[in-house]
Amino acid sequence: MSKLKWGVGGIFTLAVAAVGGNLYADKNLKTYYQQGNQQAKNLSVKYQNFHMGSLKGHADWTAELVLDPCKPKDLIKFSGQDTIKRSWNGYSVQSDIKITQAQGSLQSLLKEPLKAKTTINWLGTMHTALTTPVISRNEAQIQSRLEPMTLEFHAKQINQQLKILDLQLEIPSLSVIDANSNFQMTGLKLETNQGLNGQYLESGKTKIKMDLLKMSSRETKTPINAELKKLSIETQSELEERILNTSTSLKLDEMTMPFVPAMQNLQLNFNVTNLNRQKLQHFFDLVVKGEKSCLAKEKLVQDIEPALLAVINEGFYFESKNNQFKMGKGVAKASMSGRIMPSHQSNLMGMVKMMPSLMEYKADVEFDKNIMSSVMNNYMAKAGSPMTEQNLENMLSTMQQSGQVKRDGDTLKMSLEYKFGEKKFLN
């Protein structure tokens, strides 16, 4: 089984890293190009017509990229021209890249050449910026348009191999429209220094930002609309000698979804700590091994399941603090911390059954009267029965009398402790 780790951007990164000026920081440019054939993982490159003067030159090349080793005949073929310049601080290579053969509609969509500019200094650091043309498709039932994407990365030759240090991807706008729906995305940016060299387990950060995601559908009697504004997701991993710690943060300025009131200033955080590094590395080693083979999915799951269980059986800690969102005039806040205790489960079904007894946590929730008013007014309006102030007060009083919440004016608080399969309210 095999898959691309980097999605669509991975195709262009592989091609440019090994083709569009991939000199591996070799100061002897002539030697590199005159080698003729270059082989990398799933990629072969052939150079010809190389000519280099004292300060400038050019070369032609062709390349074949195999996306899935289990389907070696499904190739993407490229042809390109490199325009080379030499200066006091290194080389500059301008590459025009064409896709000459590809499965599906990729070749027809990319009618214009891809443009890549690569600079390599004498210290061996490479910077590449790749720009795609506008990609549009107009058919009877669907119209789509993808504005020029920009992919940039830095790389350096380490131990005779090219290591990608970081990667940035920007997609200004993507729109897809058909007779009954409309999809729009603007301002997508990705930055990462993880998973770029075939390694899953390593320290680093990944950031994703998006200005707008908007979807609408007219397939039902009542039009459906959903919208996300200013989304930001950041993940960070820290590798220590024996453990891995991870953190994830999500922020969103506004979210509009069908059938629920709009939310603003959404913030969610989740950290996992004390994951056993050795067991986790073994799990990812099996994943990588599976990607390089053509094993059936069932066989791969059979091999990976014990490794995943070994990670969970070691136990770990988790916490989620400073979470909040606004709805109407109301605010809700929540925090939680806990752990999964070590165990000796031998299969996933056994782990699922035992999980309530293995988990313990403490959660604190705080929300105000305005949140309840917004939620209930929305629900009751759809039912055709308005929510009165007295109805709301009766509901809050019932919640307080149950002992599950504590009321302080218009603010309600709930503290919950869960241990050994039982929950206890601490109000």
Over residues 45-69, the pLDDT tens digits come to 888 888 888 888 888 888 888 877 7
What pLDDT, on the 0 to 100 scale, is given for residue 42? 74
325, 349, 145, 327: which is closest to 250 by C-alpha?
325
How many alpha carbons fall within 13 Å on the CB side of residue 323? Answer: 19
Q: Distance between CA atoms of 427 and 417, rounded to whole angstroms?
A: 10
Q: Which residue has the higher pLDDT, 297 or 337?
A: 337
In which band, very low, low, confident or very high, does the pLDDT at 34 lie, cut at 50, 70 and 90?
Answer: low
pLDDT at 305 over 80: yes
- The token duo for 1 is 């089984």
* 5 pLDDT more than 60: no
How close are the terminal C-alpha atoms of the chain, in Å?
A: 52
Calculate mean pLDDT across residues 377-393: 74
User: Is pLDDT at 248 greater than 60 in this prediction?
Assistant: yes
* Residue range 401-413: mean pLDDT, rounded: 86
Pairwise pLDDT comparison (9 vs 258), residue with the higher score: 258
User: Can you give the pLDDT at residue 281?
Assistant: 93
Average pLDDT over residues 250-258: 93
DSSP secondary structure letter of residue 388: P
Model confidence at 8: pLDDT above 50:
no
- Residue 70's pLDDT is 79
Residue 239 near residue 277, CB atoms below 8 Å: yes
Q: What is the Cβ-side half-sphere exposure of residue 370, based on CA atoms within 13 angstroms? A: 9
Give residue 255's pLDDT.
94
Q: Nearest to residue 80, comparing CAs of 100, 68, 62?
A: 62
What pLDDT, on the 0 to 100 scale, is given for residue 38?
59
More confident residue, 72 or 151: 151
The tally of CA atoms less than 13 A away on the side-chain side of residue 105 is 6
What pLDDT score was predicted for residue 415? 93
Residue 173 has which token pair?
């706008």
Predicted local confidence at residue 108, as pLDDT: 67
pLDDT band at 298 (very low <50, low <70, confident <90, very high): confident
Residue of 107, 94, 60 whose CA lies nearest to 79:
60
Q: Is residue 396 scored above 70 in pLDDT?
A: yes
Q: Is the pLDDT of residue 294 over 70?
A: yes
- CA–CA dist 336, 361 (Å, integer): 7
Which pLDDT score is estimated for 41? 66
Is the confidence at residue 7, as pLDDT, over 70?
no
Residue 426 has pLDDT above 50, yes or no: yes
Identify the top-confidence range among 11-15, 87-91, 213-217. 213-217
Bigger pLDDT: 17 or 399?
399
Furthest C-alpha separation in the chain: 87
175 band by pLDDT with thresholds 50, 70 and 90: very high
Predicted local confidence at residue 269, as pLDDT: 97
Cβ count within 10 A of residue 190: 19
User: Of 204, 114, 215, 135, nearest to 164 (Cα)?
Assistant: 204
pLDDT at residue 32, as a whole number: 63
Confirm if 325 and 290 have CB atoms less than 8 A apart: no
| Interatomic CA distance for residues 56 and 300, integer angstroms | 51
Is residue 319 exposed (0-12), middle (13-18) or buried (19+ Cβ within 10 Å)? middle
pTM for the complete prediction?
0.85
Average pLDDT over residues 25-53: 68
Per-domain residue ranges of the chain: 1-171, 242-250+259-272+281-427
Q: Which residue has the higher pLDDT, 256 or 3?
A: 256
Residue whose entry in the numeric block shows the structure tokens 């090219």: 162
Q: Return the pLDDT at 217.
A: 85
Question: Considering only CA atoms, which of 121, 61, 126, 120 is closest in space to residue 96?
Answer: 61
Please state, for a pLDDT cut of 90, what percent of the chain lies above it.
38
Average pLDDT value over all residues in the chain: 84
**Phi and psi at residue 74, in whole multiples of 5°?**
-85, 80
Better-predicted residue by pLDDT, 140 or 367? 367
Question: CB pairs under 8 A, 24+ apart, for 285-288?
Answer: 287/200, 288/198, 288/200
Quickly state the pLDDT bin for 256 (edges 50, 70, 90): very high
Q: Say what the pLDDT of residue 206 is.
A: 95
Locate 380 and state its tokens.
Answer: 């009751």
Please calculate the CA angle 230-363-365 and round it to the nearest 5 degrees: 60
Q: How far, in Å, are 117, 322, 363, 413 from residue 410 at the CA level?
A: 60, 20, 20, 10
Q: pLDDT-based confidence at 383, cuts 50/70/90?
A: low
Most confident by average pLDDT, 12-21, 284-293, 311-320, 371-380: 311-320
What confidence tier does 9 reach under pLDDT thresholds 50, 70, 90? very low
Render pLDDT for 189-242 as a digit per residue (tens, 0 to 9).
Answer: 999 999 888 788 889 999 999 999 999 987 767 778 899 999 999 999 999 999
Mean pLDDT for the stretch of residues 80-109? 83
What are the C-alpha distances in Å from 320 to residues 220, 268, 317, 405?
Answer: 38, 8, 11, 20
Tokens of 130: 């790749």
